[in-house]
Amino acid sequence: MTKLLSKAVPTMQTKLFRITAYHHNLRLRRPVLSVLSFLALSLLIGATTVFAVLYTPCRAVTVEGQLVGAVASAQVLERSITQVEEEVSDILGEAYTFHSNVEDTLAFHRKDDIMTNAYLSEALYASVAEIKPAYILAMDGETVGLVKEQTMLSGVLDQIKEVYVTRETQEVFFANDIRVSREYVPEVNEYTDIDFFVSYLQEGVVTEVVYEVQQGDTIRSIASAHNMTTGQLKKTNEGLYNDTDLFKGQLLKTESIVPRLSVCTVDRISYTEEIPSPIRNVEDATMYEGETKVIEQGTDGRQFLIANRTYFNGETLTEEVLQSDVLLEPVETVMAVGTKEKPLDFGTGDMQWPAKGTVLSEYGYRYIFGSNSFHSGIDIAASRGDTIMAADRGKVIFTGYKGSYGNLVIVDHGKGITTYYAHCENFCVSEGDHVEKGQKIATMGSTGRASGVHVHFEVNVNKQKLNPRDFLP
């Protein structure tokens, strides 16, 4: 019995061990299967999440059978079609209904591939046969023309600019407001010929130009340079009566014939110029006021300048000095200046214009009243009753009616100089009166031999009639 038991026990132990080992193997395999399942599930969830993040349900849009992209919803497409219909109606000037074959189907697309409204509208526009895209050139708010390719306009504009560009040019731009826009126009509209753009933009027109007064400029020189009369220049610039009203750097309105499309350039330039000799005045009681005499003549200096000079169609407009280096110091000029008071009938020696108005006739020979005759003064026209002023300080030696002069005022300025003011309406002074420069002496009229309301102004030196222009600023 004992033997039997001793033989049987090992067998049971062996089976128990095997069973235990088997269960142990099962415990080892279950975790492996669970990890694989978890990984598979995680990958599936991850892929689904990525898909949901990157992709979205949408409507794929086709126009005339061609896929153009995707939109978020059918409502978006409908709104775009309605908007395009309204805009095309405005372009054509009549009601338009979209008749292209547009379809949308359910699809999945990347979210960043969904079309914007602008892209969708462009695709819809392209399918409308009644309109076409064009590049439109507008200048100062007015349409000039349209072309098919933007490069055509760019070429014309660059060509116009290049005429004024030099090696020193730092900047180039148009003085006009130039805008190029891409728009849709009716298909029947013809594109503008490029030659038209060139000729139209370069055509000369009369326009207002701002001019910066330079040293030495006069009203006459500025007017002449801009093909204007002095009267036109004065009328355009309020408060401008004579050269004493001018100063360097002053901006004046002028008229010039310039290209319809004007070009401005800014050039970096360098040059040398004179530095005027400074003047030191020394009072001299033996000389009359207004008289001067050089005691010691100085010399001009020189300086080197670097500046930005702005040109308008190649003509200097303004200049900004960036750097200046003195090469030679100027030497001062010593000037004696009179302080002795002049007699009341002595002029200052510096005349002003006797009236504000327009010069109708100059000094010299002219054809008038049916024959050639010598005109001994200048005629300045204005309105009846306007002020006539003494050109300089002096003494009135005549007021009255004198033949073709009509009502005449004569002022003696001393040193043999007298001035005549003819065709007056009324007198404001009498013989023997002392008058100051600029004082009102009469009103403008048309008495005597006069074709209209004006003042005839003469300058006599030692009884010789000279050109008043030589005495006026």
Rounded-to-integer distance, Cα 383 and Cα 363, Å = 21
In a domain, 52, yes or no: no
Q: What's the Cα-to-Cα distance from 290 to each of 4, 298, 338, 439, 461, rounded to whole Å?
A: 161, 21, 6, 19, 19
In a domain, 353, yes or no: no
- The single-letter code of the amino acid at 298 is G
Q: Are strands 169-174 and 263-275 parallel, antiparallel or unpaired?
A: antiparallel
In a domain, 346, yes or no: no
| Same-domain pairing of 148 and 199 | yes
The answer to whether the beta carbons of residues 65 and 160 sit under 8 Å apart is no
In a domain, 349, yes or no: no
Place of tokens 């033997």: 3
| Same-domain pairing of 466 and 392 | yes
pLDDT at 42: 56
The candidate with the shortest Cα–Cα distance to 185, out of 136, 133, 135, 232, is 133
Q: How many other C-beta atoms can be found within 10 angstroms of the C-beta atom of residue 357? A: 21
pLDDT at 12: 37
| Same-domain pairing of 92 and 143 | no
Rounded-to-integer distance, Cα 115 and Cα 384, Å = 76
| Same-domain pairing of 462 and 398 | yes
| Same-domain pairing of 164 and 235 | no
| Same-domain pairing of 194 and 215 | no
Domain containing residue 389: CATH number: 2.70.70.10
Q: What's the Cα-to-Cα distance from 423 to each of 173, 381, 457, rounded to whole Å?
A: 53, 11, 10
Place of tokens 């602008």: 118
The helix (H) or strand (E) run that includes residue 322 is strand 315-328
In a domain, 396, yes or no: yes
| Same-domain pairing of 307 and 239 | no
Domain containing residue 285: CATH number: 2.20.230.10
Rounded-to-integer distance, Cα 424 and Cα 431, Å = 15
Taking only the tens place, the pLDDT of each residue in 429-472 is: 999 999 999 999 999 999 998 889 999 999 999 889 999 988 88
Low-confidence residues in the chain, pLDDT < 70 = 1-53, 344-345, 367-371
Rounded-to-integer distance, Cα 461 and Cα 206, Å = 42
Global pTM value: 0.53
The candidate with the shortest Cα–Cα distance to 81, out of 20, 124, 21, 42, is 124
In a domain, 48, yes or no: no
Q: Which of 181, 203, 225 is the last residue before a domain boundary? A: 203
| Same-domain pairing of 194 and 232 | no
Residue 62's domain spans which residues?
57-129
What are the residues facing 389 on neighbouring strands? 440
In a domain, 388, yes or no: yes
| Same-domain pairing of 277 and 315 | yes
In a domain, 47, yes or no: no
The answer to whether the beta carbons of residues 333 and 293 sit under 8 Å apart is no
Q: Provide the domain count of the chain.
A: 6
Q: Which two tokens stand for residue 164?
A: 């004024």
Rounded-to-integer distance, Cα 248 and Cα 217, Å = 8
- Give Cβ neighbours of residue 290 (< 8 Å, ≥ 6 apart): 338, 342, 348, 349, 350
Q: Which of 341, 370, 395 is the last residue before a domain boundary? A: 341
Q: Which of 341, 373, 388 is the last residue before a domain boundary? A: 341
| Same-domain pairing of 324 and 416 | no
| Same-domain pairing of 33 and 117 | no
Place of tokens 């379809």: 103
| Same-domain pairing of 278 and 318 | yes
